[in-house]
Structure 1
Amino acid sequence: MYGTPALPPDFVSLPYANPEAPKGGRIVFGNTGGFDSLNPFVQKGTSPWQLRFWGYESLLGRSWDEPFSLYGLLAESVRAAPDRSWVEFDLHPDARFSDGSPVTVEDVIWSYQTLGTAGHLRYRGLAEQIAGIRQTGPRSVRFDFNTADRELALIAGMRPILKKAQWDGKTFAASGLDDIPIGTGAYVVSDFEAGRFVTLRRNPDYWGNDLPFRRGTQNFDELRIEFYGDETVLFEAFKAGELTVNREFNAEKWETQYNFPAVQRGDIIKSEIPHRKPSGMTGFVMNTRRAPFQDWRVREAMLLAFNFEYINDTLTGGVQPRITSYFSNSELAMQPGPPSADVRALLAPYSETLAPDALDGYALPQSDGTARNRKNLRRAVNLLAEAGWTVTDGVLTDRNGDPFAFDVLLRQGDTGNQTVIEIYRQALERLGMAVTVTTVDDAQYTARIGEYDFDMTPFRRDLSLSPGNEQRLYWGSGGAETPGSRNLMGVASPAVDAMIDTMLTAETRTDFVSAVRALDRVLTTGRYVIPIWQYDVGRIAHSRHLRFPDRLPIYGDAVGFLPDVWWYDPE
């Protein structure tokens, strides 16, 4: 994205892969919930989230040891205009689908057009910015863009390529379990039972076995996903040996509950994987499309009532630090106090649309760590009063006498967030609020989230060291009222849109960082999410037969690490 890629043209393997890793063995993961689709590229249904990463490839592949650099995969070479207004790819002559048929320019053009019109919403933003796609040679395809956006030349290399002929006479958007998209990746679905398990086998004729980009990766013969009703049952299955790997997100549980016999015998190893990426945002999002969350004072009151210090100490032993902004833990994060001169200059034209303290300085509320949290609750009462909410006979009501009531939507099996909400609800009820909790299965949860049919719900957005076009999908105004976008909070801010535009047209890293810091400031002071703890290190418990390289990527345990560069060691 900026500067020169770290790897030379003749690199042997990715720096965090072991080019001598042996092939063989299997790895078994656990998911909670279920699935009713095996097409991860459409809006309809719920598919295992891992599928789009394991069986499908794009023109270029990403190195997870650089902020944002891409290398040839299905494309063996790439050319771009100096201003990146167009990009052209040459397909690798050996590129094949899993059925052995060659990947053609026709497949590439069909994939982009189909995903851009009938695919999942995450693919449609790029389609709107492509002026045209055309074949320029036997194995060459060119994309022309209609938007000044320097990231588009990279994004155009990252869409999955699917086989056009498979879908003749079929409706791509309506597919589910019956039509599994044919891809080019090393793994192919070999067996499944709806809602129970999915098994993928490594294709022995995978076309990319000898590519430097693939050397030392995709080493397992079999990848399997077992599905469980909730996290508790999944953990018991892992302890019993039904799973070979388990990620743990609770630091206290990691320290206190991973001492079962298999760990004591050395059959299970506890590995911690550091990273250098932003914290991202994890917490509980408020739907600003609905009352009473349109008012920033109400949202600040909700933050004040959330006794993070007490909850964190109760559930994680206080080990995991709090997320302080969307890009915290990186140079992209908003800085403490008032903004720097360059950030202030970017935000000044939008000052009337920002929260009152956005240009002064803002930090998340802190409690005294006690269960009562009296000082912050008093501040919350005052803010609610300013917003027109007062307590009458123990019930918080507005000027019309309507009670302050809202619902928290949770996914079935999400026991961790259920515990957090139960503690939080006690504080909210002391303020006179009526809080209900609704738990639904995966299919209902996906449908309701897609239609923004919730008041508050758990929220997670992973963010990279090179944020770009995905930011429009996360919080651009275009997704505020568009069903299926990832803008769950309903942000419709001209300042947010302008900062994303500035990021995407920045020609220097310095200008880019200023734009991201300004975006982070607008989002954080907007009080859209109640942040909880960050995952500052990856915690993976795994069979002693599973190994990974000593050299770790800067993104740590992100996509492209497990299972990509792990291998099975029978000894």
Structure 2
Amino acid sequence: MNARRITQFLASVTLCTLAGFAPVLIGVVAKAQEPERHHGFAIHGDLKYGPDFPHFDYVNPDAPKGGTVTRLGRGTFDSLNPFIIKGTPAGAAAAVYDTLMTQPMDEPNTEYGLLAEWISVSDDKRTVTFGLRPEARFHDGHPVEATDVVWTFDTLREKGAPLYRYYYSAVDKAVAVDAHTVEFHLGEGMNQEMPVILGQLPVLPEHYWADKDFATTTLEPPLGSGPYRVADVDAGKAITLERVEDYWGADLPVNIGINNFDRIVYQYYRDPVVAIEALKAGEIDIRYENSSKFWATAYDVPAVEKGRLIKREFPHHRVAPMQGYIFNLRRPLFQDPKVREALTYLWNFEWVNKTIMYDSYVRTDSYFDNSDLEATGTPGPLEMEVLEPLRDQLPPRVFTQDYAPPASAPTDMDRNNLKAALGLLKEAGWVVNENRKLVHGETGEPFAFEILLHSDQFVPHTQSLERAVERLGGDVEIRPVDDAQYQNRVDNFDFDMTIELFGQSHSPGNEQLDFWGSAAADRPGSRNAIGIKNPAIDTLIEKLIASPDRETLVARTKALDRALLWNFYLIPMYHSEADRYIYWDKFGIPETVPSQGMTPEIWWVDPEKAAALGKAG
């Protein structure tokens, strides 16, 4: 029996047996039955913005609406359904859906109401309730109702991509209490993050999908409730969004100064070099540049010199994503941690950074780098509370050493690292035979593997690892493939090694199950492409999710960080502490850069700049 039904039962008993005291007792029951409603929710700590805030601090509330912006789409697409594992979805397709709540870009771990006017959480943390705004509408005028929320939630778990089943695994059921109220009932265990996770739920229209198969790909423009709708689709090449003129939520504080462009066109390019040329030719307005080589060399053009094409770095304070060469533990070659550790000595970051990336990156040494969640030094008391019971299941260095990836001399080959790697490989049973080939001492199996890449862009970086392995007598094949083939192979774990990126937040939680949890290791399409099946890691994730406060969350995240690092599940690569954009000088940009990074969603077309740019030819 849930909290609501218990209180209803107690109220009925009180009315029947203690009528004289009913007013007092009913008041007590009502108070327990209706937890306090809030306009926002912070996992730990207080909300920055009060209930009557006019807009977020980092936007321009007077930004004009209008204009067209052409942005870059990478690769290709064959579907407008971003919620299923089939197909390659257009990322822009998700922009047509509003979510229950929305996260500001200057306040981590926090959300404010969007479709939901309020949120409440029961005292026992087992019931999360959202009150929908009565004015919320889909683009066809149909109201957004609690039944749509329940249908979306159930459909994503039953027919959506596998990650949804694990992302929402703490929820027993969703219930429509009335047309505008929906309850999520949680199972056993503590999960402080679930209100925020549920707040991220996109709400789809049940009536639209009634005669459609949700589990199949489609290029039919979907029905949403957000600030944009799909106006045009050129399959695999372009998708155009148009601003909804009568968007129901345009005047909400969370939307003021945002969604300023009338039209957003995403042009898709498979080749980044072609995409850059399109930008320089004026066919693209904005490019987020994640290649240091291109940033340093590709934009030496008159338009940049004249200030018409702007290169700008926006510093941020996000948790740096962990990008690395991941090992597929399903392959026998990589099941020995000594082999994995040996290979960490063979990728030379210092040389790659100097010769390929123009010294513009920082080496990543944590799954939660650039934040207070990063493990440093040796474990503190709160970390030891969760680590000590697992001592026999964790590498000893978790308790005694601060992890750092092997540093190299900025030369192509570091002899000391080659020697260290060979020593570890010998401990794992690998020897160099008379033909100077690295083979297993017992089976004679050659030391060989393939590195799967989704882009030629990473070939030069990867050749550093290839050369070092071959120097020791092993064989490496670098295989770039197209987006569709890459996604299919990774979804089905058909690779030896590849590059993956794991984005993190200031409040890690359920997503860690999909990244590293044993239950996700055999599920096609999961983020646990590494194939980790480690009971100690599972326990640390469970403890992290159940953290009762921020201090405990930080400590338990650090403990998980140590366990992941010292198991050598990947070769850490690098990250940047700034967002790099290159754009034509037609935009207005707020002066305040939000702590979580810059986004063009808060830019606008400046009519005077656009006119001047047009006159300049």
Instruction: Sort the TM-score into its range (normalised by shorter chain).
Output: over 0.9
1:47 aligns with 2:47: no
Q: How does 1:24-423 map to 2 (within 5 A)?
A: 24-52=66-94, 54-148=95-189, 149-177=191-219, 179-336=220-377, 338-361=378-401, 362-392=403-433, 393-398=435-440, 399-411=442-454, 414-423=455-464
8 Å contact kept, 1:346–1:518:
yes
CA distance in structure 2 between the aligned counterparts of 1:511 and 1:448, rounded to whole angstroms: 38
Q: Which moved more, 1:510-519 or 1:61-70?
A: 61-70
Pair 1:84–1:12, CA change in 2 (3 A): same
- Name the residue aligned to 1:569: 606
Cα offset, 1:30, TM superposition: 1.6
Aligned residues: 562
- Name the residue aligned to 2:31: none
Structure whose alpha-carbon radius of gyration is higher: 2
State the Cα deviation string for residues 484-529 of structure 1 (Å, max 9, x = none). 1101111122222222222222222111110011111111112112
Q: Which moved more, 1:211-220 or 1:344-353?
A: 344-353
Opposite residue 267 of structure 2, the aligned amino acid is: E
State the Cα deviation string for residues 342-394 of structure 1 (Å, max 9, x = none). 21231122222222322111321011222221100001001001001111112
8 Å contact kept, 2:167–2:511:
no
CA distance in structure 1 between the aligned counterparts of 2:161 and 2:222, rounded to whole angstroms: 14
State the Cα deviation string for residues 319-338 of structure 1 (Å, max 9, x = none). 311111111211100013x2
Percent identity, aligned pairs only, is 39
Match of 1:537 among 578, 595, 599: 578
- Name the residue aligned to 2:12: none
State the Cα deviation string for residues 230-286 of structure 1 (Å, max 9, x = none). 111111111111110111123354234322121112111112111112222012111
Structure 2: runs of 5+ lacking an equivalent: 1-42, 609-617
Structure 1: runs of 5+ lacking an equivalent: none
1:492 aligns with 2:533: yes
1:456 aligns with 2:472: no
TM-score by length of 2: 0.89
Match of 2:548 among 507, 524, 535: 507
Opposite residue 343 of structure 1, the aligned amino acid is: E
Opposite residue 388 of structure 2, the aligned amino acid is: A
8 Å contact kept, 2:167–2:514:
no
Pair 1:223–1:174, CA change in 2 (3 A): same
- Name the residue aligned to 1:7: 49
- Name the residue aligned to 2:30: none
State the Cα deviation string for residues 100-127 of structure 1 (Å, max 9, x = none). 2111111111111101110122322244
Q: Which moved more, 1:109-118 or 1:529-538?
A: 529-538
Could you say which structure has the higher helix fraction?
2
- Name the residue aligned to 1:19: 61
Cα offset, 1:289, TM superposition: 1.2
Cα offset, 1:27, TM superposition: 1.5
- Name the residue aligned to 2:5: none
Secondary structure at 1:513 match in 2: helix
Match of 1:430 among 453, 463, 471: 471
Pair 1:434–1:126, CA change in 2 (3 A): closer
TM-score by length of 1: 0.96
8 Å contact kept, 1:162–1:181:
no
CA distance in structure 2 between the aligned counterparts of 1:83 and 1:515, rounded to whole angstroms: 22
Q: Which has the higher contact order (CA 8 A, sep 6+)?
A: 1
Match of 2:514 among 455, 462, 473: 473
- Name the residue aligned to 2:21: none
8 Å contact kept, 1:252–1:315:
yes
State the Cα deviation string for residues 292-348 of structure 1 (Å, max 9, x = none). 111111111111011111111111122311111111211100013x22232123112
Opposite residue 603 of structure 2, the aligned amino acid is: W
8 Å contact kept, 1:126–1:152:
no
State the Cα deviation string for residues 68-114 of structure 1 (Å, max 9, x = none). 11111101112111232101111101101122211111111111110
8 Å contact kept, 1:409–1:437:
yes
Q: Cα RMSD (Å) of the superposition?
A: 1.4
CA distance in structure 1 between the aligned counterparts of 2:574 and 2:480, rounded to whole angstroms: 23
- The runs of at least 4 consecutive aligned structure 1 residues that moved more than 4 Å come to none
Cα offset, 1:213, TM superposition: 0.8
